[in-house]
Amino acid sequence: MATLVEEPSASEPAAELEAPPAVVEVEEPEEPVAVEVVEPPAAVLPELAPPKVADSPKPPKVEGKAAATVTPRKATPTRRRSGSTRSSSPETATPPISEPPSDAVVREELTSMDPRELTTRADKLYAQGHSALAASYYRRALEIDPDYAPALVGMGQGILRAKKYSDAMKNATRALQLARGVDARPGLEAAAIYQMARVHYERGERDAARRLFRQSISLPSAPPEAWFYLGEALSSDNSPAARHAYEKYLELVPRGSLSDRARRAIQ
């Protein structure tokens, strides 16, 4: 069935339609322009070799083994020596630090060396501060040859150090007899007289000590300590001779175990 559509009559005014709201144009922000940054190609640099570091010197090889690196040491002043052919007293110089030989070495040397070798070895050990060990070498030398004067003089050092003055006097007297007779070697007579003088000095017999110290220093190759102890024996008089004796000792032994005492004495 047909649907009837009713059309409005012409006499009726048409309803006013509201005008649509005005459209406000909003200015949109411009989009930022994307700028493409083109990086220049990285320059190809040549590879530089790392700087060479000087190699530390390698220690020399000894018999196929690399020697241990030795730390440089301070040079020690050269010690002046007197004309003595052997050390006559431990005060000549400060003993260097050293290790004593092993027991096996000592046994081998005591059974194989002659008196001269034994005494030379004992002198070296005594100078290094091994007085007890040195005494065993001196004794062995005297067992082989009781009249070997250098061994007697060497043994006298230890006897004096032990303050056995009666034994020291007997030993020095025997050494002096041999040094003036069958074993007249340079320095032995002066060393034996020095030891006799030391016995008198330690006993407080200053006049006898002064006489023997002077006799010792008048001989060739006298022990430098004879000058020092002469100064000690003369110091009670406060004489110029005492100062001269100390200065002479320092001239011979600038750096010894008695040097500081000598310097204090003349200040």
181-215 residue pLDDT tens: 877 788 999 999 999 999 999 999 999 999 999 99
Higher-pLDDT residue of 267 and 224 is 224
Please count the CA atoms within 13 angstroms of the CA of 203 that sit on its side-chain side.
17
Residue 198 lies in a domain: yes
Query: According to the model, what pLDDT value does residue 74 have?
Result: 46
Q: How far apart (Å, rounded) are the C-alpha atoms in residues 122 and 229?
A: 24
Beta bridge partners of 61: 66
Question: Over 80: is that where the pLDDT of 9 sits?
Answer: no
111 & 198 share domain: yes
Residue 83 lies in a domain: no
CB 217 within 8 A of CB 251: no
200 & 261 share domain: no
Q: Report the chain's C-alpha Rg in angstroms.
A: 52
- Quickly state the pLDDT bin for 237 (edges 50, 70, 90): confident
Dihedral sign (CA 139, 145, 150, 153): positive
Q: What kind and span of H or E run contains 175?
A: helix 165-179
> What value does the mean pLDDT take over residues 147-165?
95
SS3 166: helix
Query: According to the model, what pLDDT value does residue 10 have?
Result: 46
Range of the domain at 190: 101-205
Which distant-in-sequence residues (6+ apart) come within 8 Å of 113 by Cβ? 121, 140
The owner of tokens 């040094």 is 179
Query: According to the model, what pLDDT value does residue 95 have?
Result: 53
165 & 110 share domain: yes
Query: According to the model, what pLDDT value does residue 225 have?
Result: 96
Tell me the pLDDT tens digit for each residue of 134-143: 999 999 999 9
CB 168 within 8 A of CB 153: no
199 & 228 share domain: no
Query: According to the model, what pLDDT value does residue 147 have?
Result: 93
Tell me the pLDDT tens digit for each residue of 141-151: 999 999 999 99
201 & 228 share domain: no
- Quickly state the pLDDT bin for 96 (edges 50, 70, 90): low
165 & 253 share domain: no
User: Residues in the chain, how many?
Assistant: 267
- DSSP letter at 90? G
Question: Over 70: is that where the pLDDT of 81 sits?
Answer: no
Number of structural domains found in the chain: 2
Selection from 25-29, 67-71, 147-151 with the highest mean pLDDT: 147-151
Residue 14 lies in a domain: no
Tell me the pLDDT tens digit for each residue of 104-131: 999 999 999 999 999 999 999 998 989 9
Q: Are strands 65-66 and 61-62 parallel, antiparallel or unpaired?
A: antiparallel
> What value does the mean pLDDT take over residues 224-237?
94
For residue 183, give the CATH number of its domain: 1.25.40.10
Q: What kind and span of H or E run contains 61?
A: strand 61-62
Which distant-in-sequence residues (6+ apart) come within 8 Å of 220 by Cβ? 83, 186, 187, 190
Average pLDDT of the chain?
A: 76
> What value does the mean pLDDT take over residues 14-25?
48
Separation of CA 102 from chain center: 23
Report the percent of the chain where pLDDT is more than 70: 64
Residue 28 lies in a domain: no
